[in-house]
Chain A
Amino acid sequence: MKPTVILRRTSVRTLLATGLVTSLTLVSGCAKSEDDSDKAKNSTSQGDSGQVVASPSAGSGPTCTIDAYGGKKIDLKSATVGFSQSEKEANPFRIAETASIKAEAQKRGVKLLTSNAQSQFSKQISDVQDLIAKGADLLVIAPLNSDGWEPVLRSASAKHIPIVTIDRKINATACKDYVSFIGSDFVEQGKRAADRMIEATGGKGEIAILLGAAGNNVTTERTKGFEDRVKEKAPGLKIVFKQTGEFAREKGQSVTENLIQSKPGITGIYAENDEMGLGAVNALKGAGKKPGTVKIVTIDGTRNAVQGIVDGWINGVIESNPRFGPLAFQTLDSFTQGDKVAQDIVIKDSAYTTDNAKSDIGKAY
């Protein structure tokens, strides 16, 4: 009886597996998406605006040199760079980030090893250790968490491998455990979003905030910057509603639907990312509002949001630049040649307004 059972089980399993594979090939084989023709256009028009250093331009702030860090000078051209991405390339930000690193590596002719932790921190740790084992001389890491990096840092420092972290910081000593952090100032982004909101509303009225995911530093910092600036510059602007949209379009839409019913007099909505902003636009459309009756300011700078400005629904988009490639490699290049590099490199984010949206949409990601 036993063997037959096993036999039956395997056959069921094989059947399932075959079924899945077949269906997958079938599914993707004859798929015809809505706008396949657009794709080519999109990718060619991908205008690139590399990052520009914002804060340490004057040479202020602590710096780091290879002598202070330990290790020896190498030529970046002959080196191998390992890149560890934190999340799946499933949102525009991550896609643009990885693409930028890859493009820059190709441009400079550097050998690049990549890995993706799929939002699992333990996987990211082993990813980075793999990269080291595979012979990476330099590391660029987009960390998923700020903490828990000791094992990696230990093995990296044993081999004197310089590390640059991008978009998120890790909790460790700069110029000892890692070289530099390159990223945006989220508080500053919030402040600039507040400026756009004040401009759009004339500094008066009631506004709502669509918060990001709870317990996320991006959420807290973008909220703090925005609230501080509003309090300071436009006391007439009242924040009457703060609910989370969890950085997702669907959630942003349903929260906004409730918002405009219970507070029909709302004059502005600050969405802490583009997706929630686009959800808010959906909600306003569904409620039969005209473009511009409710001012919307968002952060990130994705193509869809910038298109929203062109269409008149969104009043401003503060960019959070994902194109770390040029700046990261430039930092590594200077560092390996023995030059001084800043420990905290804050990049300059641009902004899209009604004035430049049409012309700059090619720059959006």
Chain B
Amino acid sequence: MLSVTGVSKTFPGVRALSSVDFTARTGEVHALIGENGAGKSTLIKVLTGVYRPDEGQVTYDGSPVRFATPLEAQHAGISTIYQEVNLVPLMTVARNLLLGREPRNRLGLIDFRRMHRTADEALRGLGIRVDVRRPLRELGVGAQQMVALARAVSVDARVVVMDEPTSSLEPREVRTLFEVIRTLRERGIAVIYVSHRLDELYEICDTVTVLRDGKVVHTGRIADLDRLRLVSLMLGREIGVVRDEGLTKFTGSHDTAVEPVLQAEELTVRHLLDGVSVAVRPGEVVGLGGLLGSGRTETAKAIAGALRTDSGRVVVAGTTVRTGSTPAAIRAGISLLPEDRKAEGVLPGLSVRENIALAALPGLSRFGLVDEARIDRIVDTFMTRLRIKAAGPHQKVGELSGGNQQKVLLARWLAMHPKVLLLDEPTRGIDVGAKAEVQKLIDELADDGLGVLLISSDTEELIEGSDRVVVLKDGAVVAELTGDAVTEDRLMRAIATAPSASTAAGGPDD
């Protein structure tokens, strides 16, 4: 259906793809996996007309093609759902869904009645119930993703590319998504599915192509490939090593008898948080469990001063920190790795060096003048220590892969010598290899005496990484799992059975 042969693409300093062959067949779900920087995103962009390959040929429906723009590819029947939802947040759900092909009435004006009906039907068909007249941004990330999906399949697509579609979905939504994918497969549509969640791949995909360093290292039926082998192919390491280290890098045991370094007490934010209390001891990793919208991100933001609280207090190493002020929280030793790395974390237009030095800048300056030599030393240290892969310290962060961006952010905070690290989805959108590295780093940092608060939608990561798990539901703490009770099973049960907190109505979106 859609294939590439011998495709290469080079960016300044990086060979992103070299002689890649890839074929997506009709009625097949094809997994495309690889580490960060393996070339998945580049390959998808070549397939969908965002990039033109330097060498090689794209074949679609049996004949060679050259898509000049993504729009051209879209018109030809190739739809893409990106990791980050790329819709218009201010427009209504219905308009987003039918953007560019709104039903018209006789006067050539948009027929809103028909548009709303069509949109409603399309979403209902996917098992989603939202008011299509509301602006898209009022929906949760998961629901927005479903709208994007509905949009992709409602055009007459023959190839659907999904780039990590489940990264912000709840389990129920994931089930719905899989139903949709199965329908697509039955309709003879070729699906290209990119994800880092191995379970999902084995559940939904037929074939798999593994990329590493811009080359195809394996392609074939996924059923013929066991998980360990798949991971080792991606990482390019031997099976024995991988097995020894386990699938996550967490050791999951830290000293628990010390005074807490962070105590958040009765944090309350109207509509969002209802008396949330969390304590983290030095060297301890505390997980925040809960579904989307349970208030995990808000708790982290409230502690970090990025969200103004109505009441409650935050104490770091015995000193009360002024809430609602990021600089005050940072001075006290709290560092937050935000969930939305692209919008709230990195400065994409600035260099790796500037990004790392940013927060520590006042400490690296004398009389307001920047000490370049000291910055160089620090940047150098962290780029080596965190194994940040970049063309050099002067490369723009926006050009790095997600995992390296995350490492740059970690470096920014480690340069501040924090006491507490708040990590909101630190491994989202990062491939298995980098994920393992980041997890190992977190472990090391905790061993060095840092208090870590970990938020993760990946329950496996949460359970294995945390010494304790505080479970949130609708903005309130409903359970705390300690010791042997830290298991996936108990977490699920806590989320499922805990009575819903009554005061904080209508959970927000993470």
Question: How near does chain B come to A352, taking the closest CB pair, in angstroms?
Answer: 58
Q: Is B310 an interface residue (CB 8 A)?
A: yes
- Chain B, interface size: which category? under 10
Q: Which residues of B contact A1 (CB under 8 A)?
A: 269-270, 308, 310
Expressed in whole angstroms, the Cα–Cα distance for A1 and B323 within the complex equals 14
Q: Which residues of A contact B310 (CB under 8 A)?
A: 1
**Residue of B with least CB distance to A5:** B308
Q: Which residues of A contact B270 (CB under 8 A)?
A: 1
Expressed in whole angstroms, the Cα–Cα distance for A1 and B268 within the complex equals 11
Question: How near does chain A come to B306, taking the closest CB pair, in angstroms?
Answer: 14
Question: How near does chain B come to A358, taking the closest CB pair, in angstroms?
Answer: 60
**Which DSSP category, helix, strand, loop or mixed, fits chain A's interface?**
loop
Q: Which residues of A contact B308 (CB under 8 A)?
A: 1
- Chain A, interface size: which category? under 10
Expressed in whole angstroms, the Cα–Cα distance for A1 and B324 within the complex equals 12
Expressed in whole angstroms, the Cα–Cα distance for A1 and B269 within the complex equals 9
**Residue of A with least CB distance to B269:** A1
Question: How near does chain B come to A6, taking the closest CB pair, in angstroms?
Answer: 14
**Residue of A with least CB distance to B309:** A1
**Residue of A with least CB distance to B308:** A1
Expressed in whole angstroms, the Cα–Cα distance for A1 and B311 within the complex equals 11
Expressed in whole angstroms, the Cα–Cα distance for A100 and B278 within the complex equals 80
Expressed in whole angstroms, the Cα–Cα distance for A1 and B270 within the complex equals 8
Expressed in whole angstroms, the Cα–Cα distance for A104 and B269 within the complex equals 70
What 1/0 mask marks residues of chain A from 1 to 19 whose CB sits below 8 Å from any chain B CB?
1000000000000000000
Question: How near does chain A come to B262, taking the closest CB pair, in angstroms?
Answer: 24
Expressed in whole angstroms, the Cα–Cα distance for A105 and B270 within the complex equals 67
What 1/0 mask marks residues of chain A from 185 to 207 whose CB sits below 8 Å from any chain B CB?
00000000000000000000000
B247-269 at interface with A (beta carbon < 8 Å):
269
What 1/0 mask marks residues of chain A from 81 to 122 whose CB sits below 8 Å from any chain B CB?
000000000000000000000000000000000000000000
Question: How near does chain B come to A205, taking the closest CB pair, in angstroms?
Answer: 59
**Residue of A with least CB distance to B271:** A1
Expressed in whole angstroms, the Cα–Cα distance for A1 and B310 within the complex equals 7
Expressed in whole angstroms, the Cα–Cα distance for A1 and B308 within the complex equals 8
Question: How near does chain A come to B307, taking the closest CB pair, in angstroms?
Answer: 10
Question: How near does chain B come to A334, taking the closest CB pair, in angstroms?
Answer: 62
Expressed in whole angstroms, the Cα–Cα distance for A304 and B137 within the complex equals 63
Expressed in whole angstroms, the Cα–Cα distance for A146 and B82 within the complex equals 60
Question: How near does chain A come to B207, taking the closest CB pair, in angstroms?
Answer: 52
Q: Which residues of A contact B269 (CB under 8 A)?
A: 1
Expressed in whole angstroms, the Cα–Cα distance for A286 and B269 within the complex equals 67
Question: How near does chain B come to A12, taking the closest CB pair, in angstroms?
Answer: 17
What 1/0 mask marks residues of chain B from 324 to 336 whose CB sits below 8 Å from any chain A CB?
0000000000000
What 1/0 mask marks residues of chain B from 308 to 323 whose CB sits below 8 Å from any chain A CB?
1010000000000000
Question: How near does chain A come to B43, taking the closest CB pair, in angstroms?
Answer: 46
Question: How near does chain A come to B482, taking the closest CB pair, in angstroms?
Answer: 34
Question: How near does chain B come to A316, taking the closest CB pair, in angstroms?
Answer: 59
**Residue of B with least CB distance to A2:** B270
Expressed in whole angstroms, the Cα–Cα distance for A254 and B310 within the complex equals 60
A277-302 at interface with B (beta carbon < 8 Å):
none
Expressed in whole angstroms, the Cα–Cα distance for A1 and B309 within the complex equals 9
**Residue of A with least CB distance to B310:** A1
A1-45 at interface with B (beta carbon < 8 Å):
1
Question: How near does chain B come to A3, taking the closest CB pair, in angstroms?
Answer: 11
Expressed in whole angstroms, the Cα–Cα distance for A1 and B307 within the complex equals 11
B262-294 at interface with A (beta carbon < 8 Å):
269-270
Question: How near does chain B come to A9, taking the closest CB pair, in angstroms?
Answer: 15
Expressed in whole angstroms, the Cα–Cα distance for A34 and B469 within the complex equals 76
**Residue of B with least CB distance to A4:** B308
Expressed in whole angstroms, the Cα–Cα distance for A60 and B308 within the complex equals 82
Question: How near does chain A come to B503, taking the closest CB pair, in angstroms?
Answer: 16
Question: How near does chain A come to B310, taking the closest CB pair, in angstroms?
Answer: 7
**Residue of A with least CB distance to B270:** A1
Expressed in whole angstroms, the Cα–Cα distance for A242 and B310 within the complex equals 69
Question: How near does chain B come to A172, taking the closest CB pair, in angstroms?
Answer: 42
What 1/0 mask marks residues of chain A from 326 to 351 whose CB sits below 8 Å from any chain B CB?
00000000000000000000000000
Question: How near does chain B come to A330, taking the closest CB pair, in angstroms?
Answer: 63
Question: How near does chain A come to B81, taking the closest CB pair, in angstroms?
Answer: 35
Question: How near does chain A come to B354, taking the closest CB pair, in angstroms?
Answer: 32
Expressed in whole angstroms, the Cα–Cα distance for A177 and B310 within the complex equals 68
What 1/0 mask marks residues of chain A from 56 to 74 whose CB sits below 8 Å from any chain B CB?
0000000000000000000
Expressed in whole angstroms, the Cα–Cα distance for A281 and B310 within the complex equals 67
Question: How near does chain A come to B162, taking the closest CB pair, in angstroms?
Answer: 39
Question: How near does chain B come to A231, taking the closest CB pair, in angstroms?
Answer: 59
Expressed in whole angstroms, the Cα–Cα distance for A1 and B302 within the complex equals 14
Question: How near does chain B come to A8, taking the closest CB pair, in angstroms?
Answer: 11
Question: How near does chain B come to A345, taking the closest CB pair, in angstroms?
Answer: 57
What 1/0 mask marks residues of chain A from 115 to 146 whose CB sits below 8 Å from any chain B CB?
00000000000000000000000000000000
Question: How near does chain B come to A149, taking the closest CB pair, in angstroms?
Answer: 39
Expressed in whole angstroms, the Cα–Cα distance for A103 and B269 within the complex equals 68
Expressed in whole angstroms, the Cα–Cα distance for A353 and B269 within the complex equals 80
Expressed in whole angstroms, the Cα–Cα distance for A1 and B271 within the complex equals 11
Question: How near does chain A come to B73, taking the closest CB pair, in angstroms?
Answer: 46
Expressed in whole angstroms, the Cα–Cα distance for A215 and B168 within the complex equals 61
Expressed in whole angstroms, the Cα–Cα distance for A137 and B153 within the complex equals 75
Question: How near does chain A come to B308, taking the closest CB pair, in angstroms?
Answer: 7
Expressed in whole angstroms, the Cα–Cα distance for A328 and B249 within the complex equals 95
Expressed in whole angstroms, the Cα–Cα distance for A150 and B429 within the complex equals 68
| In the A-B complex, the 4 residue pairs with the closest CB atoms | A1-B270, A1-B308, A1-B310, A1-B269
B residues sitting closer than 8 Å to A (CB atoms) are 269-270, 308, 310
Residue pairs across A and B with Cβ atoms less than 8 A apart, 4 shown, are A1-B269, A1-B270, A1-B308, A1-B310
